[in-house]
Amino acid sequence: MDRCYSRALKLLSRAEHTRKGLEQKLLLRGFQPVEISGVLDRLEEEGALSDRRFAEEWVRSRLKKHPEGKALLELGLQKRGVDESLSREVVKQCASWPEYRAALRGLYEDLLASGVEEPQIITSILRKKGFSSYEIRLLFEELG
């Protein structure tokens, strides 16, 4: 158990993980499911492992590097092992972050800079990036 715990801490020291993601990495390293489960429970109790913290950090990073709207952010979190209700909750919360509005505005400005000016085309591209029609309409109203 000590070896599994040490390995898990080492992985967490490099980057946040979801419980599911860390479990998979430990399984690949030959640790037994029962041992892993106990270690993950301990890490959660100690605060070293948190799906919520992973989700919030992943969303912040994603908004900076590859901006997406709420729909795609939720799917991305679920793909990484964050449970559906927590994904929805974190993404709903992130929509009020300045980073979220900046990501949408940045994508809009990038489209304009690349010569895309037709509102319908811009809307279509932003919808494909996971932003809602409502968010896009607010952006257009805000920019006048």
| 11/34 same-domain check | yes
- Please report the pLDDT score of residue 52 as a whole number: 97
Same domain, 69 and 37: no
Domain boundary among 11, 33, 49: 49
Q: How many domains does the structure of the chain reveal? A: 2
pLDDT in tens, 29-80: 999 999 999 999 999 999 999 999 999 999 999 999 999 999 999 999 999 9
Would you say residue 1 has pLDDT above 80? no
Are residue 75 and residue 31 in the same domain, yes or no?
Answer: no
In the block, tokens 């591209």 appear at 125
Neighbours of 5 (CB within 10 A): 19
**CA-wise closest residue to 107 among 82, 143, 78:** 143
Rounded CA gap, 97 and 130, in Å? 16
**If we measure between CA atoms, which residue out of 35, 13, 42, 11 comes closest to residue 25?**
11
- 137 and 73 part of one domain: yes
Q: What is the pLDDT of residue 143?
A: 86
For residue 85, the Cα-to-chain-centroid distance in whole angstroms is 13
Cβ(45)–Cβ(20) under 8 Å? no
Question: Residue 6's domain spans which residues?
Answer: 2-49
* 4-27 confidence digits (pLDDT tens): 999 999 999 999 999 999 999 999
Domain CATH code at residue 20: 1.10.10.10
- How far is it, in rounded angstroms, from Cα 23 to Cα 25? 5
Same domain (yes/no): 62, 8? no
- 29 and 15 within one domain: yes
Question: Residue type for 31, please?
Answer: F
60 and 118 together in one domain: yes
CA distances from 36 to 33, 70, 82 (A): 5, 32, 18
